[in-house]
Structure 1
Amino acid sequence: MPEELQKFDIAIFAKSYAQVWCSQRPKFVSYFFAEDGVLQINDGIPAEGTEAITNVAKSFMETFPDMVVSMDSLATKNDKTKFHWTLTGTNNGPDGTGNKVRINGFEEWTINEEGLIQESKGYFDEKEYKRQLEFGTDN
């Protein structure tokens, strides 16, 4: 495709990002980040760089072998994009409870000039997440 026809499409990027979280291939998640990119969840310790981001994805994928992440909405304002998502899965990983979870959250992305995530700050209701791990979802 000629370069002048190539255009970065954040919606396609976001849908593909959600899809790789469902893939059970944690390295694929890191491909959406700059090599020195950062993923931070609920103001926790940031995962910096490809290996650390891969390990975060691996942890979720091991915890929820049947994990599905769906994109709920996408909004861009100034230099930030909010990717709203829903994660569903069964906690059947190591030391799992066997309970199903359904949790909503979002990531706020800063996209670099190469069209990769430079920084992602993710948030979800951790108290509700822990409750669902223990007792399952209400639906």
Structure 2
Amino acid sequence: MTPDVQTARRIAQDHCAAWTNRAPGDVAGRYAEHTIMIMNGGDPMKGRSEIGDMAAGFMADFPDLVLSLDTVLVADHHMVYAWTFEGHHFEGHHKETGNHVRFSGWEEWDLDDNLNVTKSLGWYDGVDYKRQVAGA
């Protein structure tokens, strides 16, 4: 199936809701079984398990996180979805830093015929993210 703009928007909204509802299994479930995700040109995450672990880590560090959809673009089996992440940072073992963090980014998704993500390339300003977490 090739998604239209409304379907792509629904997919992205559901993905944002999974993040906001702190449901790492639902985040991972958006991806195909043998998927790959690369953020900011870093090491690839492979498979739903690694993506679910990454999502759970962010959810632990930002228990009040909200992921909002900014926009979507779609062409054939490819879509771009832009988002904004917002929340208060907690360091490990629930030691609150209290630092408010807000940053935006986007992901390019390749979709299979079931509209699951087979490949995700994403970007956000990592330097700004680290600065906000540190409260600088």
The normalised TM-score by structure 2 is: 0.89
Separation in 2 of the partners of 1:39 and 1:62?
20
Change (3 A) 1:41 1:96: farther
Q: Give the C-alpha shift of residue 86 in structure 1.
A: 0.2
Larger Rg: 1
Does residue 98 (structure 1) correspond to residue 104 (structure 2)? The answer is: no
2:9 is matched with 11
1:40 corresponds to which of 38, 44, 52: 38
Query: Is residue 2:111 matched to residue 1:132?
Result: no
The one-letter amino acid of 1:132's match is: Q
Q: Distance in 2 between matches of 1:7 and 1:107?
A: 18
User: Normalised by the size of structure 1, how large is the TM-score?
Assistant: 0.87
Q: How far did 1:76 drift?
A: 1.8
Q: Who is 1:66 aligned against?
A: 64
User: CA offset at residue 97 of structure 1?
Assistant: 2.5
1:74 aligned partner, one-letter code = V
- CA distance, structure 2, for counterparts of residue 7 and residue 105 of structure 1: 24
Runs of 4+ more than 3 Å apart: none
Name structure 2 gaps, 5 residues minimum: none
Residues 18 and 75 of structure 1, relative CA distance in 2, 3 Å threshold: same
Identity of aligned residues (%): 30
Q: CA deviation at 1:96?
A: 5.0
Cα distance change on mapping 1:47 and 1:83 into 2, 3 Å: same
Summarize the Cα distance change of 1:96–1:127 in structure 2 as closer, same or farther, 3 Å threshold.
Answer: farther
Task: Work out which of the residue numbers 68, 73, 76 in structure 2 matches 1:75.
Answer: 73
Higher relative contact order at CA 8 Å, sep ≥6: structure 1 or structure 2?
Answer: 2
SS for the counterpart of 1:97 is strand
Cα separation, partners in 2 of 1:28 and 1:93, compared to 1, 3 Å: farther
Q: Please state which structure has a larger fraction of its residues in strand.
A: 2
Q: How far does the alpha carbon of each residue in 1:100-121 deviate from its partner, in whole angstroms, 9 at most, with x for none? A: 1000000110011111011111
> Are 1:88 and 2:71 an aligned pair?
no
Q: Name the Cα RMSD after superposition.
A: 1.8
Deviation at 1:75, TM superposition (A): 1.0
